[in-house]
Amino acid sequence: MIVVMSVSAVEQDIQQVVSAIEARGLSALRMPGGDRIAIGIPSAIPPDLREPLFQALSVLPGVQHVAHVSRPYKLASREFHGADTIVDVKGVRFGGRQIQMITGPCSVESYDQMRAAAMAARAAGATVLRGGAFKPRTSPYAFQGLQEEGLKILQRVGRENGLVTISEVMQPDLVALVAGHVDILQIGARNMQNFPLLIEAGKSGHPVMLKRGPSATLDEFLLAAEYLLHHNNSKVLLCERGVHPLDRSYTRNTLDLNAVPVLKEISHLPVIADPSHGTGISRYVPAMALAAVAAGADGIMVEMHPNPREALSDGAQSLTPGQLQSLMSRLRAVAAAVGRSA
């Protein structure tokens, strides 16, 4: 942490900053510059002191501003965990050479719909089947999901078709229920900072795919992952699903692919990209899925519905089984071009 004093700060101001640092058992280093002085804290700051110290120093007289110099997350950082983490879910490995395809409809609507989706997913070479049972809907008037019944359908269809399953959980008291039926818990973008949910999902030890919030910085994203890791759950997948767009004239979100190489560098966790939510329009999904693979993603999640025009939710961004099949063959070519398989 660096405390930059204002040009007009006097010795008493500086003393007060130094004292506030030393009172917390840390050392303070004066860095006299041309116009002003800065005070650095060279020692490592314990994580629980980071924010209170920052806040306390910010309000002292003569302080112009205080800047963090180290990142706020630790367990999620590659600096303290050099090797890629591979999350193995029943033999499906995220973070290795193979790019995993997660697909299926937005919502579980019926056994028949899910069976058709699963068969199309398997035929295309996908390894994970998705389907929402508890749905976060912006409007109270929109379809809210089949809930527990949906989980059972997903579980049954997954087993029957040899596919790993994933579904969203939205509240801490349902973590056990959802974990009892599906292989991977999804924490949605709107819940990225739902801390009670993160804590409960962390404690469950169940694999979790955490989606980035639509205006979350990468530090905020990795701190949310840190909640999971901090509660001893290391089976964490990071998912970039689009950030709040400049305008919504053409796409619902802006898929932030910069985040893929950055996350791969600063963290050891596998990175998934979701071009369906990242664009919101099915005809842009294939191009962005290929782009995500080229950028280094470890997995792709795309919505696919046996009949998008009849979907109860997100029809506009869902591929048909045929479109998925076609995407997968192109995706394999791009994966090979960057030294991966799919």
Rg (CA), the chain: 23
**Which C-beta is closer to a second copy: that of 158 or that of 202?**
202
**Which C-beta is closer to a second copy: that of 168 or that of 183?**
168
The minimum distance between CB 56 and a second copy, in angstroms, equals 5
**Which C-beta is closer to a second copy: that of 11 or that of 35?**
35
**Which C-beta is closer to a second copy: that of 67 or that of 88?**
67
**Which C-beta is closer to a second copy: that of 12 or that of 249?**
249
Residues in CB range of 12: below 8 A, 6 or more apart: none
- Compute the CA torsion angle 236, 136, 197, 117 (nearest 10 deg): -40
Asked if 134 and 106 count as a contact pair (C-beta separation under 8 A), the reply is: no
The minimum distance between CB 89 and a second copy, in angstroms, equals 24
**How many CB atoms are closer than 10 A to CB 35?**
7
Tokens 């005809």 map to which residue?
Answer: 283
Strands 128-130 and 92-94 come out as: unpaired
Cβ burial of 111 (10 Å; 0-12, 13-18, 19+) is: middle
The minimum distance between CB 75 and a second copy, in angstroms, equals 9
The minimum distance between CB 42 and a second copy, in angstroms, equals 4
The minimum distance between CB 268 and a second copy, in angstroms, equals 13
**Which C-beta is closer to a second copy: that of 57 or that of 92?**
57
d(CA 250, CA 75): 38
The minimum distance between CB 54 and a second copy, in angstroms, equals 7
- Compute the CA torsion angle 88, 268, 273, 168 (nearest 10 deg): 60
d(CA 119, CA 271): 26
The minimum distance between CB 114 and a second copy, in angstroms, equals 18
**Which C-beta is closer to a second copy: that of 12 or that of 59?**
59
Q: How far apart are the first and last CA of the chain?
A: 43
